[in-house]
Chains A and B, each alone.
Chain A
Amino acid sequence: GQQVMQIPQYQHVQEGEDFTTYCNSSTTLSNIQWYKQRPGGHPVFLIQLVKSGEVKKQKRLTFQFGEAKKNSSLHITATQTTDVGTYFCALSGGYQKVTFGTGTKLQVIP
């Protein structure tokens, strides 16, 4: 099945600094999703990207799909303590099956 590499695995930032996590695949993707999981919580859907080169924004979060549709990134501008959690990318594998990346755990130091 499809595999996805997500980096970094952990990231500690000072509050107010920017943060970026990357998701890379060896194969061309039909779409990519991003989820956030707060500590002790469950994953929550953030966004889905479908088009090559697509960029979407949600307040301080910017999501990008690579031109070749093999990679994606999530960038958070000026992190806040509410951004703490683990961010997962997820690939659609067809037949409604989704493969999740290993996640990037973000810690924000006040």
Chain B
Amino acid sequence: DAGITQSPRHKVTETGTPVTLRCHQTENHRYMYWYRQDPGHGLRLIHYSYGVKDTDKGEVSDGYSVSRSKTEDFLLTLESATSSQTSVYFCAISDPQETQYFGPGTRLLVL
């Protein structure tokens, strides 16, 4: 597996609280992504990054922000968590051939 870790792996939080998920890679790849996975929806892109401090929105970016201050780290923040953001969140990196390598995922439950 590619060197991608996510933290935390599991989190339970309450509605209205901020949450930050971290993705760390050791592959020195330029492109990093955050997806959410929900039953019946497959994998949906939240935000992605094409370099340090260079990010762009995906198809489901509302309620989420990201930051990338170093090549190896890509942070996803839920400014004020809602129950609709209960999901499994995957970080991914891609190589120059556009192959995506995924982290182990973070299970987030918003009560």
Contact = CB atoms under 8 A, between A and B. Distances in A.
Of A31, A42, A90, chain B has the most CB atoms within 10 Å of the CB of: A42
Chain B contact residues, majority secondary structure? strand
Contact of B101 (A6, A45, A100, A101): A45
B62 interface: no
Contact of A96 (B35, B41, B59, B94): B94
A42 B42 contact: no
B50 A42 contact: no
Interface string A65-89: 0000000000000000000000010
A19 to B, nearest CB: 18
Counting chain B residues whose Cβ lies within 8 A of the other chain, the interface size class is: 20 to 34
Contacts of B59: 1
B102 A44 contact: yes
Contacts of A41: 104
Contacts of B45: 97-99
Contact of B42 (A48, A88, A95): A88
A99 B44 CA distance: 8
Interface residues of A, number: 24
B99 interface: yes
Contacts of B41: 102
B94 A88 contact: no
A42 B100 contact: no
A9 B94 CA distance: 26
Contact of B90 (A6, A31, A43, A48): A43
Contacts of B42: 6, 88, 100-103
A33 interface: yes
Given A1-B59, A88-B42, A88-B43, A96 B31 contact: yes
A94 to B, nearest CB: 9
